[in-house]
Structure 1
Amino acid sequence: MKNILLFGAGKSATSLIDYLLANAPRQKWHITVADHDLSLIKSKTGKSYYATPTALDIKDSAARQTLIRETDLVISLLPASLHILVAKDCLEAKKNLLTASYIDEEVRALQADIEKAGLLFMYEMGLDPGIDHMSAMKLIHSIEKKGGQIFSFKSYCGGLISPDSNDNPWQYKVSWNARNIVMAGASGATYKEKGKVKELTHEQLFDHTKTIQVPGLGKLAFYPNRDSLAYMTAYKLEELATFMRATLRFPDFCEGWNALIKLGLTDDGHKIATDHLTYSNWATRLIQDGTGTPEENMAQFLGVSSKSKVIRQLKFLGLLQTEVINLGEQTNAGILQFLVEHKLKMEATDKDMIVMMHEIEFERRNMATRMHSYMIVQGEDNIHTAMAKTVGLPLGIMAKMILQDKVTLTGLQIPVMPEIYNPVLKELEEYDIRFEESFE
C-alpha cells in the first residue's frame, strides 16, 4: 500500500482529502494528514480506515522528518513561508513533493539538487497558480499548432462570493487564507501592455482597477497580479507586446480596499500596542486634522461623502466602533486580518464562486481573432467551497498520476506541459470544472 502525507488541513484541504479518501480503496493508498489542529483533521477525515490524523507542530524537525521518511509522496498545503521546511526534508529523504504555492527564491535555490536527485517537486499545482497555467497552455499550444501567432495574453482569476450569498457592502467573503487576502498586492505588480512594461505600487494597484465582462455575471473589476513578466518565459511568449495576469473582484471590493490602503491599515511593517486602542482611534491614526466626527473626518480624508458606499464598507468592518481592540501587539495588517476573518466570514450556507478567464488575441491566415475562455465554479457551502475544490482536485489528480507511475517528469516544475495538463484538465471536467470558449 502506498502512503501519502498531507501537511495542512485548512480551508483549501477539504476537497483534496475527499478525493484522496474516495480513491484510496481502488488505488490502495493510505493518507496521513498532519496539522496542529487534530480536531480539524478529524472533521475532514471522519472515521475513514484509509486516513491517519496526526497532530504536528510543523517546526518540530524530528517529528516532521519522521513522517516524511515513512511516506511515498508529500503534499503541502501549509502557509507559503513554511514550504521550504518540507522541501528541504523531501530532498533529504528523496521524496516527491506537490504544492499549490508559488515557486519562491528559497526553493529555487534547491533546483539543481532536486534535478540531481531525480525527484519531482511540482509547485503551482492548484487554482491560481495551477489551473490557470494548465488551461492557458492548452489554449496557447492549440493556437500555435494551427499556425496562429499570439500577440496579446491576459489571464484573470478570482475567488468571489456567489451572487446568492452576496449580502454585504464589500461583495466579498473569506473562502481561503485571510492573511493572503490582506497582503494581496503588497509588493505591487509588474506586467506588459502594448510593448511597455508597467509597474504599479501597492498604493496604485487598487486605484487602477478596470473591468471585464464575464458571461452570466456582468462586470468584474481586476488588478494586475504580482510579477506577470516572470511567466512569459514559462509560457514561451517572451516576444508578446501585452502580457498580464490579474485578480478578479466585484468592483465595490476594490473601491473599499483602496480606502484601507490610503488609511495605512494594510501595513505590516511594525507592531503597535492594542490593549487600550479603540478601532476608531486605530483607523483614523493617519488623519491629522478634522473638526467633525471620526466618520466625517475619515470621509474628508478619503475624499468621499460621509454617506458614501466606502464609508458604509468601513463601518461594516468595524473601523468606526469604540470597542478596544485588545489583541496585544499587532501590525495594522494583523488587526485588519482579524476584522476580515470575523466580519467577512462565510456562514454555514454561504456559497463561494471561482471565476477564471483567459483573453488571447492572435492572428491566423491574416485574420485577427480575440478568444475568451472562461470557467465559473460554484461552491456547495462554507466547507465544500469552490476554492477548496479548484485548489485541491488538481493536487489529488497529480498525486494519483505520480503513484500510478504515469509521470516521468523530474526537477522543479510548474504544470505547463501537455503530459500534465491534458489528463488533469480532462479529469477536472468530471467534477464540472471546465471552460467555455467564444471568439470575436
Structure 2
Amino acid sequence: MKNILLFGAGKSATSLIDYLLANAPRQKWHITVADHDLMLIKSKTGKSYYATPAAIDIKDQTARQQLIQETDLVISLLPPHLHIIVAKDCLQFRKNLLTASYIDPEVRKLEKDIEKAGLLFMYEMGLDPGIDHMSAMKLIHSIEKKGGQIFSFKSYCGGLISPESLDTPWQYKISWNARNVVMAGASGAVYRDKGKTREVNYEQLFDHNKTIQVPGLGKLAYYPNRDSLGYMESYRLENIATFMRATLRYPDFCEGWNALIKLGLTGEDGKIQTDHLSCFDWATRHIEGADKQAGHEEVMARFLGVSTKSKVIRQLKFLGLLNGDQLNLGEKTDAEVLQHLVEDKLKMEPSDKDMIVMMHEIEFERRNMATRIHSYMITQGEDNVRTAMAKTVGLPLGILAKLLLQEKITLTGLRIPVMPEVYNPVLKELEEFDIRFEESFE
C-alpha cells in the first residue's frame, strides 16, 4: 500500500481529499491528512477506512518529520511561507513533493540538491498557477508544431462568484484564502507590451482597469499579475513583443478595492491598537484634516472624489467602514483588520456558487497570415464547500499524485507543469470533471 501525506485541510483541500479517497481502494493508497484543526480534517475525510487524521503543529519538527518519513509522497496545501519547512524535510528524507504554490527564492536555493537526490518537487500545480501553465503550454506547443510564430501572449484567470450568487455591491465573495485576496497586487506588476516593459505600481493597479469580453459572461476587468516576465523563459517565449498574465474580477470589485488602497487600508506597515477603535475611525485615520463631525458618507465621498450616493460608498458601507462599531481585535495591521472585515462581510453562504474563469489570448503568424486564438474555460462550484476553486486547485495535484505513484512520470528536479508528459494526461482527466477549454479563432 502506498502512503500519501497531505499537509493542510483548508478550503482548497476539499476536492483533493475527495479525489484521493475515491481512488484509494483501487490504487491501494492510504492518505494521512495533517492540519492543526482535527475537527476540520474529520469534516473532510469522514469515517473513511483509507484516511488517517493527524492533528499537528506544523512547526513541531518531531511530529512533522515522523509523518514525512512514513509516507511515499507529500502534498502541501499549507500557507506559502510554510512550504520551505516541508521541502527541507522532503529533501532530507528523500520524498517527492507536490504543491500548488509559486516557487519561492528559498526553495530555489535547494534546486541543485533536489536534482542530485533524484527527487521531483513539482510546484505551481494548482489552478493559477497550474492549469494556466498546462493549458497555455499545450496551446503554445500546438501552434509551434504547425509552424506558427507567436508574437503576443495574454493569459487571464479569476476566482469569481457565479452570476446567480451576486448579491453584494462588491460582486465578490471569498472562495479561497482571504489573506491572498487582501494582499493581491501589493507588489505592483510588470509585463511586456508591444516590445516595451511596463511597470505598474500598487496605487495604479486597480485604477481604470481595462476589460476583456468573455463568452457567456460579458465584460470582466483585469489587472496584470506581479511578474509576468519571469514566465517568458518557462514558456520559451523570450522574444515575443507582448507577454502578460493577469487576474480577472468583475469591474465593480476593482473600483471598490481601489478606494480601499487610496484610504490606506491594505498596508502591513506596523500594527495599531484596535480595541475601542470604531470601524469608521480606523477607516479614516489616514485622511488628514477629516471633519469627523460631518456625515460618515460625506467624509469618505469627499476624500475619494465621489458622490455620497455612489457605488463605492455603498461598498464601503457594506464592509462596515461607515459605522461606529468597535473593532476590538487587539493589535493588528491594517491588512489584518481588512481581512477580518472581508471574511465576515464577503463570506460565501451555503447555497452560493463560485466560478473559475480562465482565458488565453494568443496571436501568431503562419504563412504570412496573422491569427488570434481564444481558449477559455468556465467552471462552477456546487456550494460553499465543494467550490470551483477547491476543484481546480486540488484535482491537478491529485491527478499528478496518481501518475507519480503509478510510475507513469519519472521527472526529477524542481519543476512547474509545462511539459507534455504532465499536461497531456492531467488536462485529459480534468475533462472528466467538466474542466475543459473551448477555442475560437479570429
Q: TM-score, normalised by structure 2?
A: 0.99
| Distance (Å, rounded) in 2 between the aligned partners of 1:348 and 1:85 | 34
The DSSP-based 3-state class of the residue aligned with 2:300 is helix
Provide the residue aligned with 2:277 in structure 1.
277
Residue 226 of structure 1 and its aligned partner are, at CA, apart by: 1.1
In 1, are the aligned partners of 2:35 and 2:58 still within 8 Å (CA)?
yes
Provide the residue aligned with 2:330 in structure 1.
328
The DSSP-based 3-state class of the residue aligned with 1:233 is coil
Provide the residue aligned with 1:315 in structure 2.
317
| Distance (Å, rounded) in 2 between the aligned partners of 1:81 and 1:285 | 31
Indicate the RMSD between aligned Cα atoms, in angstroms. Answer: 0.6
Provide the residue aligned with 2:342 in structure 1.
340
| Distance (Å, rounded) in 2 between the aligned partners of 1:190 and 1:62 | 42
Provide the residue aligned with 1:220 in structure 2.
220
In 2, are the aligned partners of 1:287 and 1:297 still within 8 Å (CA)?
no
Q: Which runs of 5+ in 1 are unaligned?
A: none
Provide the residue aligned with 1:125 in structure 2.
125
Residue 287 of structure 1 and its aligned partner are, at CA, apart by: 1.4
Q: Which runs of 5+ in 2 are unaligned?
A: none
Residue 295 of structure 1 and its aligned partner are, at CA, apart by: 1.6
| Distance (Å, rounded) in 2 between the aligned partners of 1:208 and 1:232 | 26
Q: One-letter code of the match for 2:7?
A: F
| Distance (Å, rounded) in 2 between the aligned partners of 1:166 and 1:200 | 29
| Distance (Å, rounded) in 1 between the aligned partners of 2:50 and 2:109 | 36
Q: One-letter code of the match for 2:434?
A: D
Can you list the C-alpha shifts for 1:211-252, whole angstroms capped at 9, x where unaligned? 000000000000001100000000000001100000000000
| Distance (Å, rounded) in 2 between the aligned partners of 1:240 and 1:317 | 43
In 2, are the aligned partners of 1:3 and 1:31 still within 8 Å (CA)?
yes
Alignment of 1:154-169 (within 5 A): 154-169=154-169
Alignment of 1:170-249 (within 5 A): 170-249=170-249
Residue 290 of structure 1 and its aligned partner are, at CA, apart by: 4.1
| Distance (Å, rounded) in 2 between the aligned partners of 1:286 and 1:4 | 49
| Distance (Å, rounded) in 2 between the aligned partners of 1:141 and 1:135 | 10
Provide the residue aligned with 1:351 in structure 2.
353
The DSSP-based 3-state class of the residue aligned with 1:137 is helix
Alignment of 1:63-142 (within 5 A): 63-142=63-142
Provide the residue aligned with 1:52 in structure 2.
52
Aligned residues: 440
In 1, are the aligned partners of 2:284 and 2:290 still within 8 Å (CA)?
no
| Distance (Å, rounded) in 1 between the aligned partners of 2:271 and 2:260 | 17
Structure 1 stretches of 4+ with a deviation exceeding 6 A read none
Residue 286 of structure 1 and its aligned partner are, at CA, apart by: 1.5
Q: One-letter code of the match for 1:406?
A: K
| Distance (Å, rounded) in 2 between the aligned partners of 1:192 and 1:302 | 31
Residue 10 of structure 1 and its aligned partner are, at CA, apart by: 0.2
The DSSP-based 3-state class of the residue aligned with 2:3 is strand
The DSSP-based 3-state class of the residue aligned with 1:372 is strand
| Distance (Å, rounded) in 2 between the aligned partners of 1:294 and 1:388 | 39
| Distance (Å, rounded) in 2 between the aligned partners of 1:430 and 1:242 | 33
| Distance (Å, rounded) in 2 between the aligned partners of 1:352 and 1:268 | 29
In 2, are the aligned partners of 1:208 and 1:223 still within 8 Å (CA)?
no
Can you list the C-alpha shifts for 1:6-52, whole angstroms capped at 9, x where unaligned? 00000000000000000000000000000000000000100000000
Identity over aligned pairs, percent: 81
1:427 to 415, 426, 429: 429
| Match status 1:402 vs 2:404 | yes
| Distance (Å, rounded) in 2 between the aligned partners of 1:194 and 1:349 | 44
Residue 289 of structure 1 and its aligned partner are, at CA, apart by: 2.4
